[in-house]
Amino acid sequence: MKSSKKECYFAGAYTRLSQDDGDKAESDSIRNQKELIRNFQKSHSEIHIVEEYSDDGYSGVNFERPGFQKMITDIHEKKIDCIIVKDLSRFGRNYIETGKYIEQIFPALGVRFIAINDNYDSAEKRQPGDQIILPFKNLVNDAYSRDLSVKIRSNLNAKRQIGDYVGAFAPYGYKKAEDNKNQLTIDWPAAKVVRRIFQLRIEGKSNAVIADILNQEGIPCPYDYKRHSPDSRNFASGFHGNGEASWSFNAINRILTNEIYLGTMVQGKSTRPNYKIKKTVVIDQEKWIRVKNTHEAIISQRDFDIVQKLAGIDTRISTGEVYLFSGLVLCEKCGDTLIRRTVVRNHTRYTYYGCYDRKRTIKCKGVVIREDDLEQAVLTSIQKHIQTLLDIDKLLKHVDEMPLLKRETDALTELVASAKNELLRYQNLNESLYRDYLEGIVDQDEYLDLRNIYSTNEERLHKSIQELDRKKQQVLNKTSSYQRCIELFREFGNIQKLDRKTLVMLISHISVVSKKKIKICFTYQDEFDDMCYLIQKMKGEHEIWQG
């Protein structure tokens, strides 16, 4: 890799902004971008900004932008030999094309390329991994990965743990295996109750209503059940129940939020700071030790996710029964949940969702929609969305299972391997250095110096291996989340009528703009957007996926 800098560069400052790409107007404004570039130039006296190119209102998905094209012309006419952008996404969001410019075209033309916030400068010395990290950054930069980091962190954490159950008693729905007290197996009578509780919740029953139902049917609550189970020999002494003689809101809630039913071992939820302090401290959810697939699941991941989502929806309904759209319809203007109202006019009942306050006066004018209109619009949108996803699925299959992502993982695997080799080399060097020192071939100062250098390198490599593994996991997670998205909607391929469960499963929320306009955010909307974006790039066609 070249690391030689010239004494003087004639630079073009390139800026771009597009609402379509979801750019944040404030931080990404053209003015802010220009300012950032000028500030950068101040500390680089060898760079002279001779031209500024702007594309205001042009998407980064393609390069059909007047400012960009002018810049390329100027490069060919040797007016500039350096390009400065705020970050890669300003330059382009099409990562193959962007990579081609940065990795092939610019080096061939002798153009220095600088992406300030990505810390990328083609004139600087490069680390071995840079070529891949650059396009990778392009890939993740914008369209991807918001919730990934949390998942990955817990995944990695979990790998270090074995996942044996160490609790004194098996959680409700499970029992300890005959042959291994650290292993859980399903306790069917209780597991069926667990499943029923999840089902009732998905159908729209509140925790309190579910508790009532179970109590009326005389189903023993976990505390009673445990007391009569064969597992409970030490029960009286060891188990400090909550004194709940019957099903309660909290008992239901504990079951509905417990990941143990997914087959995931979750331990370490609380700890004692040290042995002197009796008080237990609740640990952040993220730090809980989770190990997946340690035992058989009772609840599917999907049902579990829906229930967690329902818990987040403010249904504002205390009677226990929910309406079709309860908690799912928001005001586009203020973001509040819309209120359902029924009025009788000329002996006919009309039901509306509108933005009202508690006194039933209008909060946001014009934000009101008839329930039957809403239902029809949502049904039609879902049908269209499913059709689009099925088309996407065909296309993805057609193009051989995401070659882009495959290329990324292959490249990352290779990088990990070479980093591991290098690490091994330093470890060997360190060992033979110690031998040389013992045999008097190097003196103490030399030994300490060299050992320091080798160890620093070892540390650096350890870190970069970890980082590369993390990135690879990100890419892998992405592919499987696309599949999850497609599979979910495929199941509803023939949907003709809406019900509560379908809505909760397929829709994140609905924003009402006016009586004629709604916006729908679907489940896995990010994945959907990503796939559309990927396909745009692969096909080079933009029309198909609009609308």
State the Cα–Cα distance between residues 34 and 100, nearest whole angstrom. 25
Q: Which range of residues in 27-35, 352-360, 375-383, 402-410 is near Zn ion by CB under 5 A?
A: 352-360
Q: Judged by CB, which is closer to Zn ion: 129, or 327?
A: 327
Taking the complex as a whole, the smallest distance from the CB of residue 333 to Zn ion amounts, in Å, to 5
Q: How far apart are CA 54 and CA 33, in angstroms?
A: 10
Q: Which residues contact 482 (CB under 8 A, 6 or more apart)?
A: 396, 402, 527, 530, 531
State which residue, 156 or 334, has the beta carbon closest to Zn ion: 334
| Residue 92 parent element (H or E) | none
Considering only the stretches 127-135, 207-215, 354-362, 408-416, report the one whose residues sit in contact with Zn ion under the rule CB under 5 A.
Answer: 354-362
Smallest distance, Å, CB 328 to Zn ion? 15
CA 114/CA 40 separation, integer angstroms? 10
> What minimum distance in Å lies between the beta carbon of 146 and Zn ion?
26
Helical ranges in 282-402 per DSSP H: 301-312, 371-398
Cβ–Cβ under 8 Å, residues 85 and 14: yes
Beta bridge partners of 267: 289
364 binds Zn ion (CB under 5 A): yes
Residue 88 binds to Zn ion (criterion: CB under 5 A): no
Tell me, residue by residue from 154 to 193, as one string, x for binding to Zn ion by CB under 5 A and - for no binding.
----------------------------------------
Q: d(Cα 331, Cα 517) in Å, to the nearest integer?
A: 11
Q: 347 or 358, CB closer to Zn ion?
A: 358
> How many C-beta atoms surround the C-beta of residue 523 within 10 A?
20
Size of the site for Zn ion (CB under 5 A): 6
CB of 313 to Zn ion, least distance (A): 17
Stretch that binds Zn ion, among 44-52, 73-81, 172-180, 353-361 (CB under 5 A): 353-361
Closest contact distance (angstroms) between CB of 516 and Zn ion is: 17
Q: Measured between alpha carbons, how far is 418 from 412 in angstroms, rounded to an integer?
A: 10
Q: What are the structure tokens assigned to 453, written together?
A: 């250098």
CB of residue 368 vs Zn ion: minimum separation in angstroms? 10
Q: How far apart are CA 68 and CA 13, in angstroms?
A: 10
Q: Please, which residue, 8 or 334, has the CB nearer to Zn ion?
A: 334
For the beta carbon of residue 531, count every other beta carbon within 10 angstroms.
Answer: 25
CB of residue 26 vs Zn ion: minimum separation in angstroms? Answer: 23
Separation between Cα atoms, residue 204 and residue 461, nearest integer Å: 52
Question: In sequence order, which residues have a C-beta less than 8 Å from that of residue 114 and are 6 or more positions away?
Answer: 40, 82, 83, 84, 85, 120, 121, 122, 123
Residue span 328-347 as binding mask against Zn ion, x where in contact by CB under 5 A, dash where not: ---x-xx-------------
Q: By C-beta, is 298 or 364 nearer to Zn ion?
A: 364
Integer-rounded Cα radius of gyration of the chain: 30
Nearer to Zn ion, 82 or 364 (CB): 364
Q: What is the DSSP string of 176-243?
A: E-SS-TT-EEE-HHHHHHHHHHHHHHHTT--HHHHHHHHHHTTPPPHHHHHHTSGGGTTHHHH-----
Bridge partners (DSSP) listed for residue 471: none
- Measured from the CB of residue 362, what is the shortest distance to Zn ion in angstroms? 9
Q: Which is nearer to Zn ion, 462 or 519 (CB)?
A: 519
Please say which residue, 193 or 355, places its beta carbon nearer to Zn ion.
Answer: 355
CB of 520 to Zn ion, least distance (A): 17
Q: Which two tokens stand for residue 446?
A: 């030399």
Q: What is the DSSP letter of 457?
A: H
**Residue nearer to Zn ion on the CB measure, 370 or 470:** 370
Stretch that binds Zn ion, among 112-120, 133-141, 158-166, 348-356 (CB under 5 A): 348-356
Minimum CB–partner distance for residue 475 and Zn ion (Å): 40
3-class SS of residue 77: coil
Q: Show contacts with Zn ion in window 295-334 (CB under 5 A).
A: 331, 333-334
The window from 257-265, 303-311, 356-364, 380-388 that contacts Zn ion (CB under 5 A) reads 356-364
Nearer to Zn ion by Cβ, of 419 and 512: the residue is 512
Pairing of strands 289-291, 265-267: antiparallel
**Interface mask toward Zn ion for 140-159; x: CB under 5 A:** --------------------
Which of 132, 355, 442, 506 forms a contact with Zn ion (CB under 5 A)?
A: 355
DSSP state of 101: I
Asked whether the beta carbons of 515 and 500 are under 8 A apart, the reply is no
Question: In the complex, what is the shortest distance from the CB of residue 366 to Zn ion, in angstroms, rounded to a whole number?
Answer: 10
C-alpha distances out from residue 312 to 139, 207, 307, 324, 479, Å: 31, 13, 9, 16, 27
Q: Give 364 or 486: the residue with its C-beta nearer to Zn ion.
A: 364
What is the smallest separation between the CB atom of 530 and Zn ion, expressed in angstroms?
30
Nearer to Zn ion, 334 or 417 (CB): 334
The contact set with Zn ion (CB under 5 A) reads 331, 333-334, 355, 363-364
